[in-house]
Amino acid sequence: MAAVRRPVTDRRVLALREGRAVELPDRLVTEEPLEIRAAGPGQDPQTVTVTMRTPEHDFDLAVGFLLSEGVIGGYDDVRQVKYCELPDGAEQQFNVVTVKLARPVKLTPRLTTTTASCGICGTTQLDDLQARCPVVASGRERLARSVLLSLPDRLRQAQSLFDKTGGLHAAGLFHFDGSVVAVREDVGRHNAVDKLVGHALLERLLPLSEHVLVLSGRVGFELVQKAAVAGIPVVAAVSAPTSLAVETADRLGVCVAGFVRPPTANVYTHAERLDLES
Protein backbone atom coordinates (compact mmCIF):
# COMPACT_ATOMS: atom_id res chain seq x y z
CA MET A 1 0.00 0.00 0.00
CA ALA A 2 1.31 3.47 -0.88
CA ALA A 3 2.64 5.63 1.92
CA VAL A 4 0.50 8.72 1.46
CA ARG A 5 2.35 11.94 2.23
CA ARG A 6 0.34 14.66 3.94
CA PRO A 7 1.24 18.35 4.37
CA VAL A 8 0.35 18.20 8.08
CA THR A 9 1.69 15.75 10.69
CA ASP A 10 -0.13 15.04 13.97
CA ARG A 11 1.95 15.07 17.14
CA ARG A 12 1.40 15.05 20.89
CA VAL A 13 3.11 17.91 22.74
CA LEU A 14 3.70 18.84 26.35
CA ALA A 15 2.13 22.27 26.65
CA LEU A 16 3.02 24.65 29.46
CA ARG A 17 -0.15 26.48 30.43
CA GLU A 18 -0.70 28.75 33.43
CA GLY A 19 1.80 27.06 35.72
CA ARG A 20 1.03 23.48 34.74
CA ALA A 21 2.03 21.02 32.03
CA VAL A 22 -0.59 19.20 29.99
CA GLU A 23 -0.31 16.85 27.03
CA LEU A 24 -2.20 18.11 24.02
CA PRO A 25 -2.58 17.20 20.34
CA ASP A 26 -0.75 19.47 17.91
CA ARG A 27 -0.20 19.73 14.17
CA LEU A 28 3.17 20.28 12.52
CA VAL A 29 3.94 21.26 8.97
CA THR A 30 5.43 18.23 7.23
CA GLU A 31 8.99 18.62 5.92
CA GLU A 32 10.34 15.86 3.68
CA PRO A 33 12.83 15.58 0.81
CA LEU A 34 11.79 15.57 -2.83
CA GLU A 35 14.25 14.49 -5.50
CA ILE A 36 13.61 16.14 -8.86
CA ARG A 37 14.84 14.25 -11.91
CA ALA A 38 14.72 15.10 -15.62
CA ALA A 39 15.21 13.07 -18.79
CA GLY A 40 15.03 13.77 -22.50
CA PRO A 41 14.11 11.19 -25.16
CA GLY A 42 16.31 8.13 -24.82
CA GLN A 43 18.02 9.51 -21.70
CA ASP A 44 18.08 7.98 -18.25
CA PRO A 45 16.60 10.25 -15.58
CA GLN A 46 19.22 12.44 -13.91
CA THR A 47 18.95 14.08 -10.53
CA VAL A 48 18.71 17.85 -10.79
CA THR A 49 18.22 18.66 -7.12
CA VAL A 50 16.89 17.44 -3.80
CA THR A 51 14.74 19.96 -1.99
CA MET A 52 13.15 19.89 1.46
CA ARG A 53 9.48 20.60 0.91
CA THR A 54 5.96 20.25 2.24
CA PRO A 55 4.35 17.30 0.39
CA GLU A 56 1.68 18.82 -1.84
CA HIS A 57 1.62 19.96 -5.48
CA ASP A 58 4.87 18.07 -6.13
CA PHE A 59 4.46 18.07 -9.93
CA ASP A 60 3.97 21.84 -9.95
CA LEU A 61 7.08 22.21 -7.78
CA ALA A 62 9.19 20.06 -10.12
CA VAL A 63 8.32 21.85 -13.35
CA GLY A 64 8.40 25.27 -11.68
CA PHE A 65 11.91 24.59 -10.43
CA LEU A 66 13.09 23.39 -13.85
CA LEU A 67 11.67 26.52 -15.47
CA SER A 68 13.32 28.89 -13.01
CA GLU A 69 16.67 27.11 -13.47
CA GLY A 70 16.48 27.30 -17.27
CA VAL A 71 16.26 23.53 -17.83
CA ILE A 72 12.93 24.01 -19.64
CA GLY A 73 11.55 27.02 -21.43
CA GLY A 74 7.82 26.39 -21.33
CA TYR A 75 4.91 24.00 -21.58
CA ASP A 76 5.99 22.41 -24.88
CA ASP A 77 9.23 21.15 -23.31
CA VAL A 78 7.32 18.89 -20.88
CA ARG A 79 6.09 15.49 -22.02
CA GLN A 80 5.25 13.81 -18.71
CA VAL A 81 5.55 14.34 -14.97
CA LYS A 82 5.27 11.37 -12.64
CA TYR A 83 6.49 9.81 -9.43
CA CYS A 84 9.24 7.23 -9.76
CA GLU A 85 8.36 3.77 -11.02
CA LEU A 86 9.06 0.99 -8.52
CA PRO A 87 9.28 -2.80 -8.75
CA ASP A 88 6.13 -4.74 -7.95
CA GLY A 89 5.53 -4.88 -4.22
CA ALA A 90 7.76 -1.90 -3.38
CA GLU A 91 6.22 0.85 -1.28
CA GLN A 92 5.79 4.17 -3.05
CA GLN A 93 7.19 6.97 -0.90
CA PHE A 94 6.22 9.83 -3.22
CA ASN A 95 9.63 11.44 -2.78
CA VAL A 96 11.03 11.23 -6.33
CA VAL A 97 9.47 13.07 -9.28
CA THR A 98 10.70 12.59 -12.84
CA VAL A 99 9.98 15.13 -15.57
CA LYS A 100 10.25 13.66 -19.07
CA LEU A 101 11.21 16.29 -21.63
CA ALA A 102 10.52 16.71 -25.33
CA ARG A 103 14.17 17.17 -26.25
CA PRO A 104 17.51 15.89 -24.99
CA VAL A 105 19.13 18.05 -22.35
CA LYS A 106 22.55 18.23 -20.82
CA LEU A 107 22.00 18.64 -17.12
CA THR A 108 24.39 19.91 -14.50
CA PRO A 109 23.39 17.79 -11.50
CA ARG A 110 22.89 19.68 -8.27
CA LEU A 111 23.50 16.85 -5.88
CA THR A 112 23.08 18.97 -2.78
CA THR A 113 20.05 19.43 -0.64
CA THR A 114 18.08 22.62 -1.15
CA THR A 115 17.05 23.62 2.35
CA ALA A 116 13.89 25.41 3.38
CA SER A 117 15.75 28.72 3.57
CA CYS A 118 17.95 28.47 0.46
CA GLY A 119 16.36 28.52 -2.94
CA ILE A 120 19.23 28.57 -5.37
CA CYS A 121 22.28 26.96 -3.71
CA GLY A 122 25.13 28.38 -5.74
CA THR A 123 23.28 30.04 -8.63
CA THR A 124 24.36 33.57 -7.75
CA GLN A 125 25.39 35.13 -11.04
CA LEU A 126 22.98 37.93 -11.84
CA ASP A 127 24.61 38.49 -15.23
CA ASP A 128 23.92 34.88 -16.20
CA LEU A 129 20.27 35.29 -15.21
CA GLN A 130 19.91 38.47 -17.22
CA ALA A 131 21.44 36.75 -20.26
CA ARG A 132 18.70 34.12 -20.36
CA CYS A 133 15.79 36.08 -18.89
CA PRO A 134 14.50 39.09 -20.85
CA VAL A 135 13.21 42.21 -19.13
CA VAL A 136 9.63 41.64 -18.02
CA ALA A 137 7.29 43.11 -20.62
CA SER A 138 5.00 46.03 -19.83
CA GLY A 139 1.36 45.04 -19.49
CA ARG A 140 -1.73 46.94 -20.50
CA GLU A 141 -2.63 47.85 -16.93
CA ARG A 142 -1.07 49.22 -13.79
CA LEU A 143 -1.75 47.79 -10.34
CA ALA A 144 -3.95 50.07 -8.26
CA ARG A 145 -2.57 51.23 -4.92
CA SER A 146 -5.74 50.08 -3.15
CA VAL A 147 -5.41 46.57 -4.59
CA LEU A 148 -1.71 46.38 -3.68
CA LEU A 149 -2.46 47.22 -0.06
CA SER A 150 -5.27 44.64 0.11
CA LEU A 151 -3.24 41.70 -1.17
CA PRO A 152 -1.49 40.53 2.06
CA ASP A 153 -4.86 40.15 3.78
CA ARG A 154 -6.25 38.27 0.78
CA LEU A 155 -3.26 35.95 0.87
CA ARG A 156 -3.58 35.38 4.60
CA GLN A 157 -7.25 34.44 4.24
CA ALA A 158 -6.27 31.70 1.78
CA GLN A 159 -3.56 30.11 3.98
CA SER A 160 -5.43 27.02 5.14
CA LEU A 161 -2.34 25.06 6.18
CA PHE A 162 -0.93 28.00 8.14
CA ASP A 163 -4.15 28.06 10.15
CA LYS A 164 -3.52 24.45 11.13
CA THR A 165 0.22 24.62 11.85
CA GLY A 166 1.49 28.22 11.98
CA GLY A 167 4.65 27.03 10.26
CA LEU A 168 4.53 27.72 6.54
CA HIS A 169 5.42 30.31 3.97
CA ALA A 170 2.84 31.25 1.37
CA ALA A 171 2.93 32.61 -2.16
CA GLY A 172 -0.13 33.81 -3.99
CA LEU A 173 -0.78 34.67 -7.61
CA PHE A 174 -3.38 37.40 -8.13
CA HIS A 175 -4.90 39.26 -11.05
CA PHE A 176 -4.50 43.05 -11.09
CA ASP A 177 -8.11 43.38 -9.91
CA GLY A 178 -7.20 41.52 -6.73
CA SER A 179 -8.87 38.22 -7.58
CA VAL A 180 -6.90 35.13 -6.67
CA VAL A 181 -5.51 32.73 -9.26
CA ALA A 182 -3.79 30.27 -6.93
CA VAL A 183 -2.12 30.09 -3.51
CA ARG A 184 0.58 27.63 -2.50
CA GLU A 185 2.08 26.99 0.94
CA ASP A 186 5.35 25.29 1.79
CA VAL A 187 8.01 25.07 4.48
CA GLY A 188 10.33 26.73 1.93
CA ARG A 189 9.38 30.11 0.46
CA HIS A 190 11.14 29.28 -2.80
CA ASN A 191 9.18 26.02 -3.06
CA ALA A 192 5.89 27.88 -2.64
CA VAL A 193 6.81 30.13 -5.58
CA ASP A 194 7.98 27.19 -7.71
CA LYS A 195 4.65 25.48 -7.06
CA LEU A 196 2.81 28.57 -8.27
CA VAL A 197 4.96 28.97 -11.38
CA GLY A 198 4.71 25.25 -12.14
CA HIS A 199 0.93 25.43 -11.83
CA ALA A 200 0.86 28.35 -14.26
CA LEU A 201 3.13 26.49 -16.72
CA LEU A 202 1.04 23.32 -16.69
CA GLU A 203 -2.14 25.40 -17.12
CA ARG A 204 -0.53 27.25 -20.05
CA LEU A 205 -0.86 30.64 -18.35
CA LEU A 206 2.71 31.85 -18.97
CA PRO A 207 3.83 34.58 -19.28
CA LEU A 208 2.06 36.09 -16.28
CA SER A 209 2.31 39.64 -17.59
CA GLU A 210 -0.72 41.01 -15.72
CA HIS A 211 -0.36 39.22 -12.43
CA VAL A 212 1.06 39.95 -8.99
CA LEU A 213 3.15 37.59 -6.87
CA VAL A 214 2.37 38.07 -3.18
CA LEU A 215 4.74 36.69 -0.52
CA SER A 216 4.15 36.09 3.17
CA GLY A 217 7.76 36.87 4.11
CA ARG A 218 10.88 38.56 2.81
CA VAL A 219 11.94 38.92 -0.83
CA GLY A 220 15.27 37.34 -1.74
CA PHE A 221 17.09 37.23 -5.06
CA GLU A 222 15.80 33.77 -5.94
CA LEU A 223 12.17 34.85 -5.59
CA VAL A 224 12.62 37.80 -7.93
CA GLN A 225 14.42 35.44 -10.30
CA LYS A 226 11.48 33.05 -10.36
CA ALA A 227 8.99 35.90 -10.84
CA ALA A 228 10.97 37.36 -13.74
CA VAL A 229 11.32 34.01 -15.51
CA ALA A 230 7.52 33.63 -15.27
CA GLY A 231 6.99 37.17 -16.61
CA ILE A 232 5.44 38.53 -13.40
CA PRO A 233 5.72 42.34 -13.31
CA VAL A 234 4.95 43.01 -9.62
CA VAL A 235 6.14 41.30 -6.44
CA ALA A 236 4.54 42.36 -3.15
CA ALA A 237 5.65 41.12 0.27
CA VAL A 238 4.81 41.74 3.88
CA SER A 239 8.50 41.90 4.80
CA ALA A 240 11.71 43.39 3.43
CA PRO A 241 13.59 42.71 0.20
CA THR A 242 17.32 42.06 0.13
CA SER A 243 19.76 44.32 -1.71
CA LEU A 244 20.34 41.71 -4.43
CA ALA A 245 16.60 41.21 -4.85
CA VAL A 246 16.20 44.94 -5.48
CA GLU A 247 19.14 45.06 -7.88
CA THR A 248 17.77 42.06 -9.79
CA ALA A 249 14.27 43.53 -9.96
CA ASP A 250 15.66 46.87 -11.15
CA ARG A 251 17.52 45.20 -14.02
CA LEU A 252 14.68 42.89 -15.04
CA GLY A 253 11.80 45.35 -14.92
CA VAL A 254 10.03 43.96 -11.85
CA CYS A 255 8.27 46.24 -9.38
CA VAL A 256 9.09 45.20 -5.81
CA ALA A 257 6.95 46.45 -2.94
CA GLY A 258 7.97 45.47 0.58
CA PHE A 259 6.49 45.96 4.05
CA VAL A 260 3.02 45.91 2.49
CA ARG A 261 1.06 46.37 5.67
CA PRO A 262 -2.05 48.51 5.16
CA PRO A 263 -2.14 51.43 4.98
CA THR A 264 1.60 51.59 4.15
CA ALA A 265 4.16 49.99 1.81
CA ASN A 266 7.62 50.70 0.45
CA VAL A 267 8.13 50.60 -3.32
CA TYR A 268 11.74 49.81 -4.20
CA THR A 269 11.75 49.44 -7.98
CA HIS A 270 9.68 50.31 -11.08
CA ALA A 271 6.94 52.30 -9.40
CA GLU A 272 5.62 53.08 -12.89
CA ARG A 273 3.92 49.68 -12.80
CA LEU A 274 1.62 50.99 -10.05
CA ASP A 275 -1.29 53.41 -10.15
CA LEU A 276 -0.57 55.30 -6.95
CA GLU A 277 -3.62 57.55 -7.19
CA SER A 278 -6.31 54.86 -7.24
Q: Where are the alpha helices (DSSP H) in 20-57?
A: none
CA-nearest of 204, 200, 194, 264 to 236 is: 264
**Among the listed ranges 174-178, 182-186, 274-278, which one has the minimum average pLDDT value?**
274-278
Q: Is the pLDDT of residue 115 over 60?
A: no
Angle, helices 243-252 vs 221-229, to 10°: value is 20
This model's pTM is above 0.85: yes
Query: What residue ranges define each of the domains in the chain, with the CATH number in brackets?
Result: 32-117 (3.10.20.10), 143-275 (3.40.140.10)
As a whole number of angstroms, the distance between CA 15 and CA 214 comes to 34
Task: Judge whether 59 and 97 are in contact, CB under 8 Å.
Answer: yes
Question: H helices then E strands: how many in the chain?
Answer: 7, 15
What pLDDT does residue 181 have?
96
Task: Judge whether 249 and 265 are in contact, CB under 8 Å.
Answer: no
What pLDDT does residue 159 have?
80
Interval 192-212: pLDDT, tens:
999 999 999 999 999 999 999
Candidate list 118, 121, 133, 255, residue with the active-site label? 118
Instruction: Please confirm, yes or no, whether 118 is among the known catalytic residues.
Output: yes
Per-range mean pLDDT, top range of 5-19, 122-136, 237-251: 237-251
